[in-house]
Structure 1
Amino acid sequence: MASASTPTPGADANALIARRYPEDIATQGNLDLIDEICVEDVLDHSPLGDLKGREEQKEQMRMLRGAFSDFSATVEDVVTEGDMVAMRVTLRGTHDGEFMGRDGTGKTFEVSNMVFTRIEDGLIAERWVIPDMMGMLTQLGIVDAPQM
């Protein structure tokens, strides 16, 4: 089993490819990069629903960047194992557009996000995105925090 300190061949390259999604696509808004770093029928699994293909990926990123004009995704940690890259990412943004049927609240959020990315022949083939949706919706005032 490989560790972060002794990467397997290609592990560094896989990590660099996986990082480009949060850093260059989500944060910088370079949606055309999806065509370069993802397989044509890329799969994405998240609480917002499953997506298949590059165009669905682009559309969801347009929606997120429209809902949160200052949206950012900061990679905090990366661990690779074979063709899988696991990342701990911090998501931030200001809710100034429609999101999940709600108009912008003007409130900000900062939540943790876990992303698992499968790399196939040097391209992103599949992603599992697991953000703290409850934390996000609570910070935006869309839902009330549960009482303990």
Structure 2
Amino acid sequence: MATTADTAENKRISRRFPEEVATERNLDLIDEICAEGVIDHSPLGEMKSREELKEQIEYLHTAFEDFSATVEDIVAEGDTVAMRVLLRGRHNGEFMGVAPTGEEFEVENMVFTRIEERKIVERWVQPDMLGLFVQLGIIEPPGE
């Protein structure tokens, strides 16, 4: 069973991904905080290594100028950490086959992170894709 110290450490490790990897673009940190066979589940597909995660972060920064991920809430129990993360940026590069719109966005993102031996071994990332596509002008809001 996880102790209070373990839970606090798991939170610290988990929040480093959005804050330091995604926002500050510190891709080398992935090697430090993620297990070699880390698995990341997201709308962009399933990444199965540190290198694939690095490529995914580069892709996001190419698609979105000033991309940032701010942890708004964080809770942990056992080996799992749940975070509510606010994503922001400007669509200035191709994303999921969509040409740049130049539009800014701000959407919620839910992230569950599983930690083993002080390393991220698995992440489930669920951003508000409908909100993102509406803000980028890619689709019309439902009911309009």
Instruction: Give TM-score scaled by structure 2 length.
Output: 0.96
Structure 1 residue aligned with 2:19, among 7, 16, 23?
A: 23
CA drift of 1:8 comes to 2.5
C-alpha separation in 2, matches of 1:105 and 1:83: 40
1:97 match: secondary structure: coil
Cα drift, residue 57 of structure 1 = 0.3
Measure, in 1, the Cα distance between the counterparts of 2:38 and 2:76.
19
Partner of 1:129: 125
Q: 1:65 aligns with which of 61, 67, 70?
A: 61
Say which of 30, 34, 39 aligns to 2:30.
34
Q: Which has the higher strand share?
A: 2
Give 1:142 shift. 1.0
Residues 14-40 of structure 1: per-residue CA shift (max 9 Å, x gap): 000000000000000001110110000
Percent identity between matched residues is 63
The residue that corresponds to 1:55 in the other structure is 51
Normalising by the residue count of structure 1, what TM-score does the alignment of the two structures yield?
0.93
Aligned residues: 144
Superposed displacement of residue 103, structure 1: 1.6
Following superposition of structure 1 onto structure 2, how do residues 1-148 of structure 1 map, counting pairs within 5 Å?
8-147=4-143
Cα distance in 1 for partners of 2:120, 2:37 equals 10
Partner amino acid, structure 2, of 1:8:
T
**Separation in 1, partners of 2:52, 2:143:** 37
Cα RMSD of the aligned pairs, angstroms, is 1.5
* Residue 98 of structure 1, CA deviation: 0.8
Which sections of structure 2, spanning at least 5 residues, go unmatched?
none
Runs of 4+ in 1 over 6 A off after TM superposition: none
Runs of at least 5 residues in structure 1 that lack an aligned partner in the other structure? none
